[in-house]
Amino acid sequence: MGLYVSSTRRRALAVAALVGLCALPWLAQAAGQGFYVSFASRVLIFALAASSLNLVLGFGGMVSFGHAAFFGAGAYCAALLAGAGVAAAPLVWLAAFGAAGLLALLIGALSLRTRGVYFIMITLAFAQMAYYLVVSLPGWGGDDGLPLSGRAPLFGIDLKDDTAFYYAVLALLAASLFAFDRLAHARFGRVIQGIRENETRMEALGYPVFAYKLSCFALAGAFAGLAGALLASQSGLASPSLLHWMQSGTLLVMVILGGVGSLYGGVLGAVLLLVAEEVLVEITPHWQIGLGLALLAVVLWAPQGVAGLFARRRGDD
Amino acid sequence: MTQLILEQALNGLQFGLMLFLLAAGLTLVFGIMDMINLAHGSLYMVGAYLAAAAAQASGSFLVGVGAAVAGTALLGVALEVSLLRRLYARDHLAQVLATFALILLANEGVRMLWGAQPVLLNAPDALAGPVEIGGFFYPSYRLLIIVVGLAVAALLYWVVARTRVGMWVRAGASNREMTEALGVDVRRLFTVVFACGAGLCALAGALLGPLLAVQVGMGESILILAFVVIVIGGIGSMRGALVGSLLVGLVDTLGRAVLPSLLREFASPEVASTLGPALASILIYVLMAAILFWRPEGLFPARA
Amino acid sequence: MTERAAPPSSPLLDVCDVGKHFGGVYALNGATLAVEAGEVHALIGPNGAGKTTLIHTLSGALRADAGRIRFAGQEVGGRAMHERAALGLARSYQITNVFARLSVLDNVTLAVQARTRDWGTSFRFWRPFARDTAIVEEARALLERVGLGALAGRRAGNLSHGEQRCLEVALALGTRPRLLLLDEPMAGMGPEESARMVELVERLARQVTLLLVEHDMDAVFRLADRISVLVGGRVIASGLPDEIRADAEVRRAYLGDEA
């Protein structure tokens, strides 16, 4: 994969999608399907989480199998702050961002000593540690998780209203993706992509590879934490299942499905997976069969993910 | 206290040996084909369900176990030939996605066939009571598991260390290209290895069935433990899998039993009762992280 | 450049008694070598003499077990590879090691961008790289110099072997090293490509100190100001090409192999 360049066409598509998403609550109300606003918020939150994973996985080339730990850390951070009476959404978001980022810094500093499969496994182990700690810490709700009393307001805007919350999530997702786009085109983004392509060569050129990988890992963890905080607010619960390894797996699946290393891969994957789930549930109680078969089909016939199907073939010569 | 520790140590040994049955197949698949198989735990689940169904139909636990091993091994062959083969050359991400899909398929398939409720698998009546070992009583069924586990481990060790097939397997795990160049049909070898791995999974599932609940999702929790085992032991190493299994089995079981009371010696009761269970549940992951920190390739690296 | 000036007498690279063993096998056994600033210093020796191990040990890909390595007056034996590279100790690889999936131009811009002393840190998360036009210009100029100017837009993996060898050199040059370790730049090249590479190395020699590992003896004796001979993990002779040609021990230990 070459260095990331966002084409005008893709930017135009993104802007069009953004406009469409802005109109979504209005369309849902008009169709009398207000429930879908809440569902859409959920999809966008997962889109943010998956995009943050894509930052480490697709751009940094680090296959992290423990991303759910940061997702969950953000959720619990939001729940604990809500319990402590913090009533300002930006504060909660910032705290979740910071806490998850710090956790990722710590886990990354230890895990990035290993490579390849061992890295996959050690990130998994740390996430499992976080999972069991959260479940067994007294006062953290055990298997039931921590409920949130309500959603903190955003500068006087009441986010308890699902539409207002939806717009807040959409704004955060758009801002994060914009930041990722800047990052991918900045010097830092080029360096982490260079490391993905050939770590030894980057080291030989004089780049302190470990520091770059760790920064990327921590940054991605922070954004996952933000997504976790949003999900806790959305559902009114910080659940331990957010830290379970199946959650890490689901996020990985979203990224692979949407397209590894493509800026909108995480978004595309989250939308596809969650919408497919929603549709299949309507059709059959055994919807997991359909989902499983669909994933297998993607692996066998669309190795670059769904985004790869749409990408124009780029000739080299 | 000594009694408790002894009993828990036996439980740990028993659990570790069952983990070894899973880890043995997993580490070879991983080592030879460099393939991440998340669906390994699903084979264990399928094995447990097959054992329950066959035992119920025939009225014999032994028939149940036999049917489970044979059926799951066949399923393993079918999976390997039809799907997994196409994944060896792909990257780890594709393997994760495909085998994650297999988990979904297996869970839902089992749910369709046997329903969402746990099914019952009873140990044979003859083994229902405890036996006396050196002055204390231990459930005879658990003892049987230990004996079977030790026997299988010994057999595996002999096959891998002493036979020609075992030599190919070891060679394949340490350097696949070279082994192929020397004329070993690694493709077919691998189908055999995979089938054996699946059979071992089923054996573990069938044996543990009466102790744990036979239910959907049982494969996922044990899968992660099996991964911890092979990472601790060193991917591709049989010896590592055995040592890792026993280490994880003992540390986990003993940790849960002993750690809370041990903490009470050093800290206040409140702290001990708070931290004890939390620490015990993460102990093996701490162990794994520590081992990877000091020996990033595990205790017994298979590759030079 | 803001280097601390070394005393005029001390060599740019001073390798003293360096040892490296793998298990019980000694690949380097007290290797001692001095490379003076400005010279082309060739390192020759039979297969298995430890030449590549020495290059790895100097660049920091491997840590020496014994001895010391001083570069530009600083002890670098304990430094990581990227730190040595940042000090101006660059290397090329014997087996081509470029960014195969990136364009030729991106390959070289990554190398140029690595030079923090000129461009500042790469921990820049927001400002688009596209504004760093000077880096791209320098990379293009560098590609012209190694004869790859017309291929800037190609995928590096699609270049011919000889072109990839040139790109390999361009990557090392992009960091503007004070000393360039060239590990068999002519490896696997045909006669025409080799001749072009010799010309390239001759031009390089005017700008940068070179430590050249090479099997092609014609090239070595044409290019080198001084030659060191590595046999069995130690340097058995070091001197002017004519001295080496005449050295009895070298003839016995090394040229005898080829006869």
Residue A194 lies in a domain: yes
Query: Which pLDDT score, from 0 to 100, does residue A1 have?
Result: 73
What average pLDDT does chain A have? Answer: 90
pLDDT digits (tens, 9 = 90+) for B15-51: 999 999 999 888 888 877 788 899 999 999 999 999 9
- With residues binned 3-state (H G I as helix, E B as strand, rest as coil), the percentages for chain A, rounded to 5, are 75, 0, 25
Has residue B53 got a pLDDT over 80?
yes
C213 closest CA partner among C31, C84, C65: C31
The CA distance from A224 to A252, in Å, is 13
The answer to whether C12 touches C178, Cβ cutoff 8 Å, is: yes
Amino acid, res. A30: A
Using CB atoms, list chains with 3+ pairs below 8 Å to chain A.
B, C
Say yes or no for a CB contact (<8 Å) between A317 and C154.
yes
Mean pLDDT of B80-103: 90
Has residue B253 got a pLDDT over 80?
yes
Q: Phi and psi at residue A307, in whole multiples of 5°?
A: -60, -35
Mean pLDDT of B91-118: 91
C175 touches chain A (CB under 8 A): yes
Residue C32 lies in a domain: yes
ipTM given for this complex: 0.90
Q: How many residues does the structure list for chain C?
A: 259
Residue whose token pair is 């010309």: C199
Chain C residues lying within 8 Å of A1, measured CB to CB:
101
Has residue A35 got a pLDDT over 70?
yes
pLDDT digits (tens, 9 = 90+) for B134-171: 778 888 899 999 999 999 999 988 888 888 888 888 78
The answer to whether B98 touches B87, Cβ cutoff 8 Å, is: yes
Chain B residues lying within 8 Å of A136, measured CB to CB:
277-278, 281
Residue A81 lies in a domain: yes
**Is C60 in the same domain as C80?**
yes
Q: Between residues A273 and B295, which one has the greater pLDDT?
A: A273
Mean pLDDT of B109-130: 87
A175 touches chain C (CB under 8 A): no
Chain C residues lying within 8 Å of A178, measured CB to CB:
none
Residue whose token pair is 């028993």: B14
Query: Which pLDDT score, from 0 to 100, does residue C3 have?
Result: 47
Query: Which pLDDT score, from 0 to 100, does residue B4 have?
Result: 79
| Binding-site residues on chain B for chain A (CB distance < 8 A) | 30, 34, 36, 38, 83, 86-87, 90, 92-94, 96-98, 100-105, 107-109, 111-112, 220, 224, 227-228, 231, 235, 274, 277-278, 281-282, 285-286, 288-289, 292-293, 296-298
The CA distance from B179 to B303, in Å, is 13
Task: Among A56, A65, A128, pick the best mutation site for testing chain B contact (most B Cβ within 10 A).
Answer: A128
A206 touches chain C (CB under 8 A): yes
CA B67 to chain centre: 19
Q: What residues of chain C, 43 to 102, have a C-beta less than 8 Å from chain A? A: 59, 61, 80-83, 85-86, 90-91, 93, 97-102
Q: What residues of chain A, 1 to 60, have a C-beta less than 8 Å from chain C? A: 1-3
Residue whose token pair is 């923090």: C116
Query: Which pLDDT score, from 0 to 100, does residue C8 have?
Result: 55
A24 touches chain B (CB under 8 A): no
Structure tokens, B142: 């658990």
The answer to whether B169 touches B194, Cβ cutoff 8 Å, is: no
Query: Which pLDDT score, from 0 to 100, does residue A74 have?
Result: 97
Q: How far is CA B87 from CA A32, A150, A253, B168, C233, in A?
A: 46, 47, 16, 21, 44
The CA distance from A296 to A309, in Å, is 16
A299 touches chain B (CB under 8 A): yes
Residue whose token pair is 């020759």: C44
Say yes or no for a CB contact (<8 Å) between B277 and A136.
yes
Say yes or no for a CB contact (<8 Å) between C129 and A190.
yes
The CA distance from C143 to C131, in Å, is 20
Q: What percent of chain B has pLDDT over 90?
A: 42
Residue whose token pair is 């837009």: C153
The answer to whether B118 touches B213, Cβ cutoff 8 Å, is: yes
Query: Which pLDDT score, from 0 to 100, does residue B73 have?
Result: 96
pLDDT digits (tens, 9 = 90+) for B272-284: 777 777 788 889 9
pLDDT digits (tens, 9 = 90+) for A54-99: 999 999 999 999 999 999 999 999 999 998 888 788 999 999 999 9
Using CB atoms, list chains with 3+ pairs below 8 Å to chain C.
A
A140 touches chain B (CB under 8 A): no
CA B11 to chain centre: 15
Residues of chain C with pLDDT under 70: 1-9, 254-259
Residue A310 lies in a domain: no
Residue A150 lies in a domain: yes
C110 touches chain A (CB under 8 A): yes
Would you tell me how many other CB atoms lie within 10 Å of the CB of residue B299? 16
CATH number at residue C245: 3.40.50.300
What average pLDDT does chain B have? Answer: 88
pTM of the model: 0.90
Query: Is A238 in a helix, a strand, or coil?
Result: strand
Say yes or no for a CB contact (<8 Å) between C101 and A206.
no
Structure tokens, B238: 């049989």
Residue B303 lies in a domain: no
The bridge status of strand A146-147 relative to strand A237-238 is antiparallel
| Dihedral Cα C125, C131, C133, C139, nearest 10 deg | 30
Report the chain B residue with the minimal C-alpha distance to residue A287: B108
Contacts of B184 (CB under 8 A, 6+ apart): B168, B171, B172
pLDDT digits (tens, 9 = 90+) for C44-54: 988 888 999 99
The secondary structure of residue A146, as a DSSP letter, is E
Query: Nearest CB to C125: which of A188, A205, A208?
Result: A188
Has residue B173 got a pLDDT over 80?
no
Has residue A134 got a pLDDT over 50?
yes
Mean pLDDT of B68-88: 94
Chain A residues lying within 8 Å of B220, measured CB to CB:
245-246
**Is C184 in the same domain as C58?**
yes
The CA distance from C15 to C32, in Å, is 5
Domain that holds residue C25: 8-88+179-188+209-259
Q: What percent of chain A has pLDDT over 70?
A: 97
The CA distance from B223 to B41, in Å, is 5
Amino acid, res. B227: F
Task: Among A299, A300, A301, A306, pick the best mutation site for testing chain B contact (most B Cβ within 10 A).
Answer: A299
Contacts of A85 (CB under 8 A, 6+ apart): none
Residue C155 lies in a domain: yes
Position A314 confidence tier, pLDDT thresholds 50, 70, 90: very low
| Dihedral Cα C110, C74, C95, A200, nearest 10 deg | -50
Residue C193 lies in a domain: no
Domain that holds residue B190: 2-294
Residue C204 lies in a domain: no
Residue A42 lies in a domain: yes
**Is C138 in the same domain as C25?**
no
The CA distance from A124 to A184, in Å, is 26
The answer to whether C228 touches C42, Cβ cutoff 8 Å, is: yes
Amino acid, res. A37: V
Has residue A312 got a pLDDT over 80?
no
Query: Which pLDDT score, from 0 to 100, does residue C1 have?
Result: 42
Using CB atoms, list chains with 3+ pairs below 8 Å to chain B.
A
Has residue B293 got a pLDDT over 90?
no
Residue B153 lies in a domain: yes
The secondary structure of residue A241, as a DSSP letter, is G
Say yes or no for a CB contact (<8 Å) between C103 and A2.
yes
Query: Which pLDDT score, from 0 to 100, does residue B303 have?
Result: 60
How many CA atoms within 13 Å lie on the side-chain side of A166?
20
C208 closest CA partner among C216, C196, C200: C200
Q: What's the total number of domains in chain A?
A: 1
Has residue A315 got a pLDDT over 50?
no
Residue C143 lies in a domain: yes
Position A311 confidence tier, pLDDT thresholds 50, 70, 90: low
Residue after which a domain boundary falls, among C154, C176, C198: C176
Would you tell me how many other CB atoms lie within 10 Å of the CB of residue A281? 14
The CA distance from C92 to C88, in Å, is 13
Query: Nearest CB to A205: which of C111, C132, C154?
Result: C111
Residue B300 lies in a domain: no
**Is C167 in the same domain as C214?**
no
Has residue A188 got a pLDDT over 90?
yes
Q: What's the total number of domains in chain C?
A: 2
Query: Which pLDDT score, from 0 to 100, does residue C225 have?
Result: 95
The CA distance from B11 to A5, in Å, is 57
Residue B242 lies in a domain: yes
Has residue A208 got a pLDDT over 90?
yes
Chain B residues lying within 8 Å of A293, measured CB to CB:
101, 105
Mean pLDDT of A255-274: 91
A183 touches chain C (CB under 8 A): yes
Distance between B63 CA and the closest CA of chain A, angstroms: 30
What average pLDDT does chain C have? Answer: 89
Query: Which pLDDT score, from 0 to 100, does residue C259 have?
Result: 41
Q: What's the total number of domains in chain B?
A: 1
Say yes or no for a CB contact (<8 Å) between A190 and C113.
yes
